Amino acid sequence: MSTTFDLPDANQEQWLKRYYYLRALFSIVWVTAAFAVGTKVPAIAALLLVVYPAWDATANWIDATRSGGLAKNRTQRINVGVSGVATAAVLVALNSGMGAVIAVVGAWAIASGLLQLSTAVRRWKSHGAQWTMILSGAQSALAGGFFIAQSRMETPPSIANVAGYAGVGALYFLISGVWLTVRHMRSIGPSIQNRN
Protein backbone atom coordinates (compact mmCIF):
# COMPACT_ATOMS: atom_id res chain seq x y z
CA MET A 1 0.00 0.00 0.00
CA SER A 2 1.42 3.39 -0.99
CA THR A 3 1.89 6.05 1.66
CA THR A 4 2.10 8.82 -0.91
CA PHE A 5 -0.85 10.77 -2.21
CA ASP A 6 -1.77 13.91 -4.09
CA LEU A 7 -3.30 16.58 -1.95
CA PRO A 8 -5.87 18.97 -3.35
CA ASP A 9 -4.41 22.42 -4.03
CA ALA A 10 -5.89 24.00 -0.87
CA ASN A 11 -4.61 21.17 1.32
CA GLN A 12 -1.26 21.21 -0.47
CA GLU A 13 -0.87 24.91 0.21
CA GLN A 14 -1.76 24.35 3.88
CA TRP A 15 0.89 21.63 3.98
CA LEU A 16 3.50 23.89 2.41
CA LYS A 17 2.72 26.63 4.93
CA ARG A 18 3.23 24.22 7.85
CA TYR A 19 6.32 22.79 6.19
CA TYR A 20 7.93 26.21 5.74
CA TYR A 21 7.22 27.13 9.37
CA LEU A 22 8.66 23.80 10.53
CA ARG A 23 11.82 24.33 8.48
CA ALA A 24 12.18 27.86 9.88
CA LEU A 25 11.68 26.65 13.45
CA PHE A 26 14.24 23.85 13.10
CA SER A 27 16.80 26.27 11.65
CA ILE A 28 16.21 28.81 14.43
CA VAL A 29 16.72 26.11 17.08
CA TRP A 30 19.80 24.80 15.26
CA VAL A 31 21.33 28.28 14.92
CA THR A 32 20.66 29.03 18.59
CA ALA A 33 22.33 25.77 19.63
CA ALA A 34 25.26 26.40 17.29
CA PHE A 35 25.98 29.87 18.72
CA ALA A 36 25.14 29.07 22.35
CA VAL A 37 26.88 25.70 22.67
CA GLY A 38 28.47 24.62 19.39
CA THR A 39 31.00 27.46 19.33
CA LYS A 40 32.23 26.40 22.80
CA VAL A 41 31.97 22.60 22.77
CA PRO A 42 33.57 20.87 19.74
CA ALA A 43 31.65 17.62 20.27
CA ILE A 44 28.32 19.50 20.13
CA ALA A 45 29.51 21.38 17.04
CA ALA A 46 30.33 18.04 15.38
CA LEU A 47 26.90 16.64 16.27
CA LEU A 48 25.13 19.75 14.96
CA LEU A 49 27.10 19.64 11.70
CA VAL A 50 26.01 16.04 11.14
CA VAL A 51 22.39 16.73 12.09
CA TYR A 52 21.99 19.66 9.67
CA PRO A 53 22.21 17.78 6.33
CA ALA A 54 20.46 14.75 7.90
CA TRP A 55 17.50 17.00 8.75
CA ASP A 56 17.50 18.40 5.20
CA ALA A 57 17.29 14.86 3.79
CA THR A 58 14.44 14.02 6.16
CA ALA A 59 12.55 17.25 5.48
CA ASN A 60 12.79 16.81 1.70
CA TRP A 61 11.61 13.21 2.00
CA ILE A 62 8.60 14.23 4.11
CA ASP A 63 7.69 17.11 1.79
CA ALA A 64 8.01 14.98 -1.34
CA THR A 65 5.89 12.23 0.26
CA ARG A 66 3.19 14.75 1.19
CA SER A 67 3.37 16.30 -2.29
CA GLY A 68 2.71 13.26 -4.46
CA GLY A 69 5.65 10.99 -3.69
CA LEU A 70 9.34 10.78 -4.51
CA ALA A 71 8.67 9.53 -8.05
CA LYS A 72 6.72 12.69 -8.85
CA ASN A 73 9.19 15.04 -7.14
CA ARG A 74 12.47 14.22 -8.84
CA THR A 75 14.48 17.19 -7.56
CA GLN A 76 13.51 16.41 -3.97
CA ARG A 77 14.28 12.72 -4.47
CA ILE A 78 17.76 13.68 -5.64
CA ASN A 79 18.05 16.15 -2.75
CA VAL A 80 17.27 13.37 -0.25
CA GLY A 81 20.17 11.40 -1.69
CA VAL A 82 22.53 14.37 -1.84
CA SER A 83 21.80 15.36 1.76
CA GLY A 84 22.15 11.75 2.90
CA VAL A 85 25.56 11.48 1.24
CA ALA A 86 26.53 14.86 2.76
CA THR A 87 25.61 13.58 6.22
CA ALA A 88 27.93 10.59 5.81
CA ALA A 89 30.64 12.79 4.28
CA VAL A 90 30.52 15.21 7.23
CA LEU A 91 30.93 12.25 9.60
CA VAL A 92 34.04 11.14 7.70
CA ALA A 93 35.41 14.69 7.32
CA LEU A 94 35.25 15.28 11.08
CA ASN A 95 38.36 13.09 11.36
CA SER A 96 40.25 15.46 9.03
CA GLY A 97 39.39 18.73 10.75
CA MET A 98 37.08 21.67 10.33
CA GLY A 99 38.49 22.66 6.93
CA ALA A 100 37.38 19.33 5.46
CA VAL A 101 33.97 19.59 7.14
CA ILE A 102 33.39 23.10 5.78
CA ALA A 103 34.40 21.93 2.28
CA VAL A 104 31.80 19.15 2.48
CA VAL A 105 29.16 21.57 3.78
CA GLY A 106 30.05 23.90 0.89
CA ALA A 107 29.64 21.20 -1.76
CA TRP A 108 26.36 20.14 -0.16
CA ALA A 109 25.10 23.75 0.01
CA ILE A 110 25.75 24.17 -3.72
CA ALA A 111 24.01 20.94 -4.73
CA SER A 112 21.05 21.20 -2.33
CA GLY A 113 20.62 24.90 -3.12
CA LEU A 114 20.37 24.26 -6.86
CA LEU A 115 17.93 21.40 -6.24
CA GLN A 116 15.81 23.62 -3.96
CA LEU A 117 15.80 26.30 -6.65
CA SER A 118 14.64 23.70 -9.20
CA THR A 119 11.88 22.50 -6.88
CA ALA A 120 10.68 26.09 -6.39
CA VAL A 121 10.64 26.75 -10.15
CA ARG A 122 8.56 23.58 -10.65
CA ARG A 123 6.09 24.71 -7.97
CA TRP A 124 5.92 28.29 -9.25
CA LYS A 125 2.73 27.84 -11.27
CA SER A 126 0.71 26.06 -8.59
CA HIS A 127 1.87 27.62 -5.32
CA GLY A 128 2.80 31.03 -3.98
CA ALA A 129 5.87 32.12 -2.02
CA GLN A 130 8.23 30.35 -4.40
CA TRP A 131 10.25 33.48 -5.17
CA THR A 132 11.73 33.22 -1.66
CA MET A 133 12.61 29.58 -2.21
CA ILE A 134 14.28 30.49 -5.51
CA LEU A 135 16.31 33.19 -3.76
CA SER A 136 17.12 30.78 -0.93
CA GLY A 137 18.36 28.12 -3.34
CA ALA A 138 20.52 30.60 -5.24
CA GLN A 139 21.92 32.05 -2.00
CA SER A 140 22.69 28.53 -0.76
CA ALA A 141 24.67 27.74 -3.91
CA LEU A 142 26.64 30.99 -3.60
CA ALA A 143 27.30 30.40 0.09
CA GLY A 144 28.56 26.92 -0.75
CA GLY A 145 31.19 28.42 -3.04
CA PHE A 146 32.30 30.73 -0.23
CA PHE A 147 32.51 27.81 2.19
CA ILE A 148 34.75 25.86 -0.18
CA ALA A 149 37.01 28.91 -0.60
CA GLN A 150 37.11 29.47 3.18
CA SER A 151 37.92 25.81 3.84
CA ARG A 152 41.30 26.32 2.16
CA MET A 153 42.36 29.21 4.36
CA GLU A 154 44.93 28.75 7.09
CA THR A 155 42.28 29.43 9.72
CA PRO A 156 39.15 27.60 8.53
CA PRO A 157 35.74 28.94 9.49
CA SER A 158 33.86 27.52 12.44
CA ILE A 159 30.31 26.36 13.02
CA ALA A 160 29.44 30.05 13.49
CA ASN A 161 29.85 30.54 9.73
CA VAL A 162 27.48 27.67 8.98
CA ALA A 163 25.07 29.04 11.60
CA GLY A 164 24.97 32.37 9.74
CA TYR A 165 24.09 30.50 6.56
CA ALA A 166 21.40 28.49 8.40
CA GLY A 167 20.00 31.69 9.89
CA VAL A 168 19.48 33.20 6.46
CA GLY A 169 17.79 29.96 5.38
CA ALA A 170 15.46 30.19 8.39
CA LEU A 171 14.50 33.71 7.31
CA TYR A 172 13.62 32.54 3.80
CA PHE A 173 11.44 29.70 5.13
CA LEU A 174 9.75 32.05 7.59
CA ILE A 175 8.99 34.60 4.85
CA SER A 176 7.55 31.82 2.68
CA GLY A 177 5.29 30.65 5.50
CA VAL A 178 4.11 34.17 6.27
CA TRP A 179 3.54 34.86 2.57
CA LEU A 180 1.30 31.80 2.22
CA THR A 181 -0.53 32.71 5.46
CA VAL A 182 -1.28 36.23 4.23
CA ARG A 183 -2.34 34.92 0.83
CA HIS A 184 -4.71 32.45 2.50
CA MET A 185 -6.20 35.16 4.72
CA ARG A 186 -6.78 37.39 1.69
CA SER A 187 -8.47 34.56 -0.19
CA ILE A 188 -10.91 33.74 2.62
CA GLY A 189 -11.75 37.41 3.27
CA PRO A 190 -13.94 37.86 0.16
CA SER A 191 -15.69 34.50 0.70
CA ILE A 192 -16.65 35.51 4.26
CA GLN A 193 -17.98 38.86 2.97
CA ASN A 194 -20.00 37.10 0.28
CA ARG A 195 -21.68 34.92 2.92
CA ASN A 196 -22.75 38.03 4.80
**pTM, 2 dp:** 0.87
- Residue range 101-133, pLDDT digits in tens: 999 999 999 999 999 999 999 888 777 668 899
Tell me the pLDDT band of 194, cut-offs 50, 70 and 90.
low
What pLDDT is recorded for position 2? Answer: 37
The candidate with the shortest Cα–Cα distance to 75, out of 120, 106, 14, is 120
Torsion-angle region of residue 150: left (phi > 0), alpha (psi -120 to 50) or beta?
alpha
